[in-house]
Amino acid sequence: QWVIVNSSCRHAFESNGGTGKDYRTALICIAAGGQVLPPLLIYAGKHLINTWCRGGLEGAHYGVTKKGWINTYMYEYWLENLFIPSTSHLKRPLLLIIDGHASHISLKIVNLLKANQIICLMLPSHSTDALQPLDVVVFNSVKHDWSKLVKNHHREGNKSIKNSDFARLIKKLFIEKAAFSPTRIVSSFARAGVWRFDENAMCHKVANNTSIYPTTQSSSIHHVPTNILQPRLVCATPSM
């Protein structure tokens, strides 16, 4: 096939249509005890391709939406087939803290929460950067780890991150980089004032207008983390 490229380009590795932007979503959930659930990875498309799921983290789930963003259907799937089975052994009632995204509310979600004795706490708008544990500590470090993975991916001769690369890179983020280590997770809940509960956590952030993001160094030996909760049920893969 022939492609049209700029005269300064001697070799065309691949052609992209539209804006050239690809959107993917990784739904991550952590627990105050230091555990993390396998992610739900969402791609943009109509059908899920087998190669997009290869080399991924054990227990991870995959799905597709029109734009690669989470929607109510995918959140319902995650709650029913990943979160609830992975936490079925924990004492009830169980507290689930979420942000106010529109996809998090539906009649099915409410019924699932009630049936499984899950109390859902929705954080106020514009407060997640101070109150949501993932935002307070973990994601700040994860961005740094992910940046390193992407740079190494490009050094290996890859011009972009394809859907077939994404699951494998997410696995490296969990295992090689230990991005979701128990230390980071526990620090996240403590810094947000969720556990141990600190009623003055938000006051301190507003007064100081700053946040502290501790980081940890991951080991060069890539042991599989023992804090990844696995679903107790085998589930089908969703698509839209």
Residue 129, pLDDT score? 75
Total count of domains within the chain: 1
Residue 212, pLDDT score? 44
Residue 64, pLDDT score? 96
Q: Is the pLDDT of residue 173 over 90?
A: yes
User: How wide is the angle at C-alpha 238 spanned by C-alphas 39 and 170, nearest 5°?
Assistant: 25
**pLDDT band for position 90 (50/70/90)?**
very high
Residue 80, pLDDT score? 96
Dump pLDDT digits (tens) for 63-88.
Answer: 999 999 999 999 999 999 999 999 99
- The full length of the chain comes to 240
Q: Identify the residue whose tokens are 């859902």.
A: 120
Residue 18, pLDDT score? 42
More confident call, 30 vs 218: 30
Q: 45: domain range?
A: 24-197+231-235
- Cβ partners under 8 Å of residue 2, min gap 6: none
Residue 4, pLDDT score? 67
Q: Which helix (H) or strand (E) holds 144?
A: helix 139-155
DSSP at 102: G
Token couple for 209: 């207008």
**Whole-angstrom Cα distance, residue 56 to residue 43?**
14
The whole-chain average pLDDT of the chain stands at 83
CATH number of domain containing 119: 3.30.420
Is residue 163, in this structure, part of any structural domain at all?
yes
Residue 2, pLDDT score? 63
Is residue 79, in this structure, part of any structural domain at all?
yes
Residue 235, pLDDT score? 45
Is residue 223, in this structure, part of any structural domain at all?
no
Residue 107, pLDDT score? 95
- Cβ partners under 8 Å of residue 179, min gap 6: 138, 141, 142, 145, 146, 173, 218
**pLDDT band for position 150 (50/70/90)?**
very high
This prediction's pTM: 0.76
β-pairing verdict for 24-27 and 40-44 = antiparallel
Look up residue 129 and give its amino acid.
D
Is residue 240, in this structure, part of any structural domain at all?
no
